[in-house]
Structure 1
Amino acid sequence: MNNIELSTIYLPILDEVYKEGAKTSVLDGDETTVRKGNNGEIKIAKLDMDALGDFDRKSGYTKGSTSLTWETVKYDKERSQDLRIDRLDNGETLAQPFAKLSSEFLKTKVIPETDAARIAKICGTKDITVKEENIETGAELIIALRACANKMDEDEVPMESRILFITPTLISLADDMDTTKSREVLKRFSQIIPVPQSRMYTSITLHDGKNSYGYEKTKAAYTLSKDTSPQPGKTYYTKESEGNYKAVSSPSGTQVENYEMTTKPAKNVNFLCVEKSAAVTAMDQYIKYFSPDQDQDGDSHVFKYRNNNLYGHVYENKTAGVYVSHKDN
C-alpha cells in the first residue's frame, strides 16, 4: 500500500472520529454555508433581506432586496503534530496501531482543543449577550437559563434551533431538581450538549509546540507600566514573586513604574447558547504518511497530521443568537 492510498483510507476515519467526539461539531457548516477559498481563506454564506412594505395596487409590490453573499474570512489557526510508530513496535500490520494512535490523538488532543478554541472564540464575539454570574444551585441555574431563554424569545431567536452547551456539573443540578420548572426551562432549548469545564473558558492560550503543546486557560499577563503618573480607572500592581502580583491600593507618582495587567485572565463558562444559524465553524484535516525507509529522523512509520480551523464566525446580523454565562473568577 503506498502513501497516497494510506492517506485516502485514513482521512475519512479521522473525520468520523472528529464528528463523533467534538461537542461543537454541530456548528460545522455544510456545502450550503461554507466553501473553501484560497490562501488560508474560507467563504461563508451570508443571507440578508429587507422587511415588508406596503402593496400598491398601481405600482404593485415593494422593491426590497434579498441578498445571498459569500463573505470571505480567514481561518483562525493551523495546528499540526508529527505522529510516529517505531518499525519494530508496529508488528505485522500497520492498520491496527495507526487506527489506535490516530483515534487516541484526536480524542485526547485535537477534539478538546478544538472545542475549547471554538467556545472561547464565540464567547469573545462583539455585541453578543454576556452575563457574569456564579451558579451554585439548581434553583440558580433555572433562573439563569430562564433569563437566557427569555432574552432570546424577546429577540425572536428561533427556539427550534437553540443549542445549549453547558458543563456536566451544572446540567446535573437541573436533572437532580426534576421539577416542572426545570423541565419547562430546558424545553426552550432544542439541543443540550454537556461540555467539560476544561473546554469551557472565555479565552484560551494555544501553545506553539516549541516549549509546550496544546492549550490552557488564559492567565493574566503583566507588563511594566509606561505611565508617568497614575491614570484614572487603571489598576497598578507590584510583583510579589514569580507569577504573583498584588494590586496597589493608592498608586503614587513613583508606583506607576510598576506593573499593569495587559491580558485579563479567562473566566469559566457556565453555559453558552448558540442558535444554529448565528454561527458557523469549520475544520479541514490533512495527513501524510512516510515509511520507516523514508523516515530521515529515525526508523518509524510517520504520520504528519495537520488541521486548519475556523474556530467560529458569528454573523454580525445574528448576534442576538448567542448568549454566554460565565463566572466572575
Structure 2
Amino acid sequence: MANTIALRKAYATMLDEVYKLASLTAVLDGPNELVKEGANANEILIPKMTMSGLANYNKQTGYVAGDVTLEYETKKCTYDRGRMFTVDAMDNIESAGVAFGRLSGEFLRTQVVPELDAWRLSSYAGYAPSENKVAEAIADAKAGIAAIRKGKTAIKNAEAKPETCYLYISAQLKGDIEDLDTTASKKVLDGWAGVIEVPEGRFYDKVTLTASGAGGFTTTGGKKIDFLIVDKNAVIQNQKHTVSKIITPDANQDADAWKFGYRTVGIAEAKDNKKVAIYVHTAAA
C-alpha cells in the first residue's frame, strides 16, 4: 500500500510536468499556492480581493478609513474527465509503473492536452462580451493585421495591458502575416505576453466533450477561430492531474493485469469584471 501511494504521487508530478510542456494554454494557469482544496473533490477555493478606492484627505481628520478584504470563493470545476488504463501483469509494481508512465505520458500529449486546449479556448471565446466578438471573413494578411489591431485597441480601452495578454492565432493567419515581412506585420505580433500558434483542430468557438466510448471532443456547430486575445489576469484557470487509483493484479477481478485510474479536474472561467479583456475573431460561419 505504501508503494502504491508513493507511486501515485510520483505519477501525478510527472503528468503535471508533461502537461505544462505540451499544453498551449498552461501559461494561463493561476498561481497554485493561492488555490485551496474545496470541501468536495471537484471544488476549489479561489482567492478574491476587494478594496476601497481613494478618498479625499482632510487636514483636520486625516485619512478616510478603507478596507482590504481577502476572501475565498468556492468554484466548481466544470471539467472532470478520466480514463482507466490496464497494464499486463509484470514482476513488480515498479516495472508496471514504468510501462504506465510511458503510456500515460503519451496519452497526455496526444489526447488530454489537445482536448483541454480546445475546451479552454472555446470557453474563453464564449466569455468575451458581445462587443468583443467579431465573426467575419479575413480577406488577406493586411485585413488580418487590421483585425488584430482592432482587437488590441479594444483590450487597451478595457484598461488591460497587452503585456499580460496572450495572442492565440491560427497557423494560417500567422503565416500569412509573417509572409508580408513588413514593419506593420512585425509590429502587430509584438508587445504581447506571448503569441501562440494554435493547430486548426483545437481552435473553434464551440467544443463538445464526448461523454463515453472512444472519448475525445467534437467541434460540430462551432466556428473556426482566427485569433483570440486573453488577458491572463482575466481568467480563472486551474488543473489537477491525479492517478487516483492503482489496482494490483491480485485485486483485479477482470484480468491478470495492473489497473491505473487517471483523472483530471479543472476550471476555465473568466472573472465577471474582466471579461472585457477577452477578444475573439472567428470565421463568418
Q: Could you tell me the TM-score, scaled by structure 1's length?
A: 0.79
Kindly indicate whether residue 147 of structure 2 is the aligned counterpart of residue 190 of structure 1: no
Seen in structure 2, the aligned counterparts of structure 1 residues 66 and 182 have a Cα distance that, compared at 3 Å, is farther
CA distance in 2, matches of 1:123, 1:34: 24
Distance 1:34 1:282 in 2: 8
Counterpart of 1:292 in structure 2 is: 249
Are 1:25 and 2:26 an aligned pair? Answer: yes
* Equivalent position amino acid for 2:163 in 1: E
Q: Aligned runs of 1:203-282 on 2, under 5 Å? A: 203-209=206-212, 211-217=213-219, 219=220, 265-282=221-238
Mapping 1:51-200, distance limit 5 Å? 51-87=53-89, 93-125=95-127, 127=129, 129-200=132-203
Q: Does the CA contact (< 8 Å) of 2:128 and 2:280 recur in 1?
A: no
Look up the SS of the partner of 1:186 in the other structure: coil
Give the C-alpha shift of residue 71 in structure 1. Answer: 1.9
Alpha-carbon distance between aligned partners in 1 of 2:198 and 2:86, rounded to the nearest angstrom: 30
Q: Which sits farther off after the overlay, 28-37 or 115-124?
A: 28-37
Do 2:35 and 2:46's aligned partners in 1 also have CA atoms closer than 8 Å? Answer: yes
Residues 1:2 and 1:33: Cα distance change in structure 2 (over 3 Å): closer
Q: Which amino acid aligns with 2:143?
A: E
Shift in Å at residue 45 of structure 1? 2.1
Change (3 A) 1:61 1:72: same
Aligned residues between the structures: 281
Give 1:35 deviation, angstroms.
2.1
Instruction: Confirm whether residue 49 of structure 1 aligns to residue 51 of structure 2.
Output: yes
Tell me whether 1:321 sits opposite 2:269 in the alignment. no
Structure 2 CA distance for partners of 1:33 and 1:199, relative to 1, 3 Å: farther
1:275-305 C-alpha deviation (Å, 9 max, x unpaired): 1111021111221222323221112221111
Residues 165-190 of structure 1, C-alpha deviation per residue, up to 9 Å, x if partnerless?
11222211222122110111212322
What are the superposed Cα offsets for residues 46-81 of structure 1, whole Å, 9 maximum, x if unpaired?
234344333222232344444333222111031110
Unpaired runs of 5+ residues, structure 1, are: 220-264
SS at match of 1:68: strand
Give aligned-pair identity as a percent. 34
Deviating beyond 6 angstroms after TM superposition, the runs of 4 or more aligned structure 1 residues are none
Structure 2 counterpart of 1:284, one-letter code: K
SS in 2 for 1:318: helix
Is the Cα contact below 8 Å between 2:166 and 2:192 reproduced in 1?
Answer: yes
Q: Between Structure 1 and Structure 2, whose CA radius of gyration is higher?
A: 1
The CA distance in 2 between the partners of 1:137 and 1:207, in whole Å, is: 35
The structure with more helix, counted as a fraction of residues: 2
Contact 2:87 2:96 in 1 (8 A): no
SS at match of 1:145: helix
Would you say the 8 A contact 1:149–1:188 is kept in 2?
Answer: no
Deviates more, 1:52-61 or 1:68-77: 52-61
Q: Matched residue of 1:307: which SS?
A: strand
